[in-house]
Amino acid sequence: MRKREVDELRSRLFHAGNKSWRDFEKLAALRKDVRAVVERNLATWTPEERAKAERQCFFDQNADLTALYRALDKDNAALAAVPVCNLPIMKELTAKEARTTRVFHRGNWLDKEDPVAPITPKILNAWHDEYPRNRLGFAKWLTNGENPLTARVQVNRVWEQLFGVGLVETLEDFGSQGDKPLYQDLLDELAVRFQTGMKWSQKALLREIVLSQIYRQSAKASPMLVERDPANRLLARGPRFRLTSEQLRDQALAAAGILSRKVFGPPVMPYQPSGMWLTPYEGRDWVTATNADGHRRALYTFIRRSATYPSFVTFDAPRREFCTVRRIRSNTPLQSLDLLNSPVFFEAAEGLAKRMRAEGGLDVESQLKRGVFLATLRPPRAEQIAVLKKLHARVGGNLTLVANAILNLDEVINKN
């Protein structure tokens, strides 16, 4: 906003002046880089060069503009002081610089045949001649409305995130080896609307699905329905499935009130058991974060392919040794042990216990009700409070152990 004010005021002063650029300051008094710009034809100046010359000329000519310049310098200095995590970005080589790719005869890299060029499968939509033969052209080909897969694949992926399983269960395979969707017409209609009416808007697609009657169904099911359709492929009930490893960790920290809301920046190293970080090829160590960075979202956890964060692997997170399109959920005893005994979840239980005491008052029942509400975001049932009261008495009034049990409730670790 401040930069726009500078530009507008500077432009008015420039056009209102009757003197030429060389009349404002003697060329010899100008800085070398500014003088090199001013001596050139005005029509050849770039916007950056024009701004530099105008600043040199008008800095002391107008009090308002001078104040804005100083404020802008202060903002730029504050911005430059923000730590930046530099990441390498892959850049596509131009056609002249690109290497020549050849077919290997019978897979032998020493026996090379004719060169090949990038091309799309002929079975799909045709390639338009005006598209460049690079990633930009490929993106246009994917999203030009003629491709039969792009919208369907994306709709199916969003559906899987919300329901636990896609309309096509094999997210990674829409071909002849993949599963045939039970509701092909539903997938086709959503895909067409995603391209046309929604104009590829993820927000509009999510809104369409979560406000539908089929998504807002109850997840409860009769024994007969479970026996007939255990995976809910017929969509006769609402979605119910276990949260991902990252979601479980973030949810526990959020319920405890200790989740860090800090965003951006380099990855962090939360607590993990000793002996897990084995790096024979370099001397880097796992330095556990001791401040609020240890409670940042799981998105910022440092990941190494040869030593993945153990709690994530326990809950089926990929090891990143290869591309994983679909996570396969499992249920193992080790997952229960992790939720009960992991230092991260036990620390979350301690935080939840503190909130229960601070926000629930002095009455034990009120504290238990507050704990259940913080974990489930709904008023607790009477039978739940009765069971938690018995547990509270059995553990000698240790509210941390009760909070740990609350965080392990089935409706807390599962999406219902």
Q: What percent of the chain has pLDDT over 90?
A: 42
Cβ(135)–Cβ(94) below 8 Å: no
Strands 101-104 and 414-415: unpaired
pLDDT at 16: 45
Confidence of residue 248 (pLDDT cuts 50, 70, 90): very high
CA-CA distance, 364 to 259, in Å (whole number)?
A: 25
Contacts of residue 3, defined as CB under 8 A and 6 or more positions apart, other chains included, come to: 72
Question: What is the rounded distance in angstroms from the CA atom of residue 318 to the CA atom of residue 325?
Answer: 10
**98 versus 413: which is more confidently predicted?**
413
pLDDT at 247 over 70: yes
Q: Pull the structure tokens for residue 407.
A: 């965080």
Of residues 46 and 196, which shows the higher confidence score? Answer: 196
Tokens of 352: 């939840």
Start-to-end CA span in the chain (Å): 45
Supply the DSSP symbol for 44.
Answer: G
Q: What is the pLDDT of residues 146-173, one digit of tens each?
A: 988 999 999 999 999 999 999 999 988 8
CB atoms within 10 A of CB 177: 8
Reading the block at residue 330, the tokens are 């499992």
User: How far apart are the C-alpha atoms of 196 and 146, rounded to whole Å?
Assistant: 12
pLDDT at 155: 95
CB 285 within 8 A of CB 291: no
pLDDT band at 211 (very low <50, low <70, confident <90, very high): very high
Q: Is the pLDDT of residue 4 over 70?
A: no
Could you tell me where the DSSP H helices lie in 128-266? 135-142, 150-163, 184-195, 202-210, 223-228, 245-256
Question: Does the pLDDT of residue 17 top 50, yes or no?
Answer: no
| Mean pLDDT computed over 244-258 | 94
Residue 294 host element (H or E): none
Say what the pLDDT of residue 60 is: 60
CA within 13 Å, CB half, 54: 22
Q: Which of 17-26, 47-56, 370-379 has the lowest mean pLDDT?
A: 17-26
pLDDT in tens, 74-124: 888 888 888 777 777 777 777 778 888 899 998 898 999 989 888 898 888
Q: What is the pLDDT of residue 59?
A: 63
Rounded to 5°, the CA angle 308-309-311 comes to: 130
- The answer to whether 138 touches 162, Cβ cutoff 8 Å, is no
Let me know: does 140 contact 180? Beta carbons within 8 Å: no
pLDDT tens by residue, 264-316: 888 899 988 877 776 666 667 788 888 888 899 999 998 887 778 888 888 98
Whether 35 shows a pLDDT value over 80: the answer reads no
Q: What is the mean pLDDT of the chain?
A: 85
H helix runs in 219-332, sequence order:
223-228, 245-256, 310-314
Residue 300's H or E segment, with its range, is none
Query: pLDDT at residue 387 above 90?
Result: yes
What's the whole-number mean pLDDT along residues 219-223? 88
Average pLDDT over residues 16-40: 58
Could you read off the pLDDT of 69-88 as tens digits, one per residue? Answer: 788 888 888 888 887 777 77
pTM: 0.73
Residue carrying the six token digits 């930046």: 84
The helix-helix angle for 382-394 and 399-407 (nearest 10°) equals: 140
Which has the minimum average pLDDT: 15-29, 48-62, 71-85, 304-318?
15-29
pLDDT confidence band for 46 (50 / 70 / 90) = confident
Query: In angstroms, rounded to a whole number, what is the distance separating the alpha carbons of residues 382 and 3?
Result: 60
Binning pLDDT at 50, 70 and 90, where does residue 25 land? very low
Taking residues 330-351, report their average pLDDT.
91
pLDDT, position 182: 85
Question: What would the two tokens of residue 83 be?
Answer: 């730590």
Which pLDDT score, from 0 to 100, does residue 2 have? Answer: 54
